[in-house]
Amino acid sequence: MTVPLIERFRDRLPVGAETPIVSLGEGSTPLLPAPRLSERLGVELWLKWEPANPSGSYKDRGMTVAVSKALERGASAVICASTGNTAASAAAYAARAGIRALVLQPEGAVASGKLAQSLMHGARVLEVRGSFDDALAAARALAERGTHALVNSLNPHRLEGQKTAVFEIVDELGAVPDVFVVPYGGGGNTVSYAKGLSELAERARLVSVQAADRRRTVASAIRIAEPAHREVVASLDVEISTVTDAQILEAWAQLAKLEGLFCEPSSAAGLAALTLDPPRGARVVATITGHGLKDPDAAARVAPEPLVVDPDPDAIAAAAAGA
Ligand SMILES: Cc1ncc(COP(=O)(O)O)c(C=O)c1O
């Protein structure tokens, strides 16, 4: 049986014997070598494959802690604003806990797979006329009324859970890598990684990668104009890197074609930054944050349409040769 993240790291998390554990078997995700990209970039590249979490993104690490703690305090409902993955995760853990989830998402801006997840888990999903930032402001205001526990990454329990990715990486490599690379949306995960490193009393380069056009990027998960954690990120020893949509899409396709890993576009932001400025000879861990199946429409925008053929071996052989 998969050991729940809270059990694996109990001594480093704010939980006690009285905390009810809400787990879906999160954490302990694969750390995969990336031989082809390593060769191309001249680095020793490892990929922390967070889509292996139960809802398909790294959010589950924080959500198991946030929902467990909310339950401990007697909450009967959670609320979040989301570009999709927080919502899918919150909805899944709320379902597991037997409590309600209210999701506020920017109208028409959430990938279809993520929306399907929230709906299937029984969350109440409301589309807010406005941006993610508007939805987050509304979620915070509602949470202050005391009816719902906020499970956005402003909730410190989320960050506590997410820092465990650093512990796993260091455990598995047997040493701290030279460089960690993560995508930068609201900045919660960046803060978590810095926290994880500091709790291990270790130092490494931490590169956090944002989209050049935060308001309109194709990478919908990091389409956040005003990062909630911007000030904290700025106060930390974090390098901010900026990449264009074209660079994100190129890195995204390379990962799928060269390493057999299909992530969502936002998750490739870190790889895009590495491609622009590879730290040659360094051991690098890039965290791949979410699964490609969450955003099939993004893939349809860049991938070729399949050819339609008759079930005739000659026609198929001819069509295949043209590939
Ligand atoms: C797949 C994915 N990657 C990266 C991020 C950005 O993480 P953060 O907001 O913690 O900076 C998000 C946030 O929603 C996400 O869903």
pLDDT at residue 1 greater than cutoff 90: no
Q: Does residue 323 surpass a pLDDT of 70?
A: no
Predicted TM-score of the model (pTM): 0.97
**For the residues 166-183, what does the mean pLDDT come to?**
98
How far apart (Å, rounded) are the C-alpha atoms in residues 276 and 199?
A: 30
Residue 302: pLDDT band (50, 70, 90) is confident
Mean of the per-residue pLDDT values for the chain? 97
pLDDT category at 322 given cuts 50, 70, 90 is confident
Q: Is 266 in the pocket of ligand 1 (CB under 6 A)?
A: yes
Domains and CATH numbers, the chain: 7-54+157-301 (3.40.50.1100), 59-155 (3.40.50.1100)
Q: What is the pLDDT of residues 48-98, one digit of tens each?
A: 999 999 999 999 999 999 999 999 999 999 999 999 999 999 999 999 999
Measured from the Cα of 229, ligand 1's closest atom is 11
Distance 201 CA to ligand 1 centre (A): 25
Q: Which of 53, 57, 151 to mutate to test the pocket of ligand 1 (most atoms within 8 A of CB)?
A: 57
Which phi and psi (to 5°) does residue 261 adopt? -120, 120
Q: Classify 17 as helix, strand or coil.
A: coil
CA distance 239 to 179: 10
Q: Whose C-alpha lies nearest to ligand 1, atom 13? A: 221
DSSP per-residue string spanning 194-207: HHHHHHTT---EEE
Question: What distance in angstroms lies between residue 153's CA and the mean position of ligand 1's atoms?
Answer: 10
Ligand 1 within 6 A of CB of 220? no
Looking at the CA of residue 183, tell me the nearest atom of ligand 1.
Answer: 4
Q: How far, in Å, from the CA of 32 to the mean position of ligand 1?
A: 20
Strand 239-243 to strand 205-211: parallel, antiparallel, or no bridges (unpaired)?
parallel
Q: Please name which of 43, 40, 2 lies closest in space to residue 21, comparing C-alpha atoms.
A: 2
Query: What pLDDT score was predicted for residue 301?
Result: 86
Amino acid at 320: A
Once rounded to an integer, what is the mean pLDDT over residues 100-111? Answer: 96
Rounded Cα–Cα distance for residues 224 and 322 (Å): 42
